[in-house]
Amino acid sequence: MGNAQNSLFSGQDFSAVPPGPDGMRDDDLPAEAMMQPFRSISCCREISMSLPDHHHHFARVEDYLHHRAPYLMVSGIDEIGDRSIQTTTHVSEDMDFLRGHFPGAPIVPGAMLQEVTTQSAGILLAARFNPMEQFNTHDPFFNQYALGVLIRVKGARFRGFVRPGDVLTTEVELIERVEDIFDFQGRILNRGKVVMSNCFQLANILSSTLQGNTPRAAAEASV
Q: Rounded distance, CA 112 to CA 106, Å?
A: 13
Q: What is the mean pLDDT of residues 98-112?
A: 96
Nearest to 136 by CA among 205, 74, 63, 209: 63
Q: Catalytic positions, please?
A: 101
Superfamily name with CATH number, domain 42-221: Hotdog Thioesterase (3.10.129.10)
Q: What is the mean pLDDT of residues 117-124?
A: 98
pLDDT (tens digit per residue) in 61-97? 999 999 999 999 999 999 999 999 999 999 999 999 9
Is pLDDT of 104 > 60?
yes
Residue 51 confidence (pLDDT): 79
- Lowest pLDDT segment from 22-31, 55-64, 119-128: 22-31
Q: What is the mean pLDDT of residues 183-196?
A: 98
Going from N- to C-terminal start, the domains of the chain cover 42-221
Structure-model confidence comparison of residues 35 and 195, the more confident one: 195
For residue 19, the 8-state DSSP code is P
pLDDT (tens digit per residue) in 132-164? 999 999 999 999 999 999 999 988 999 999 999
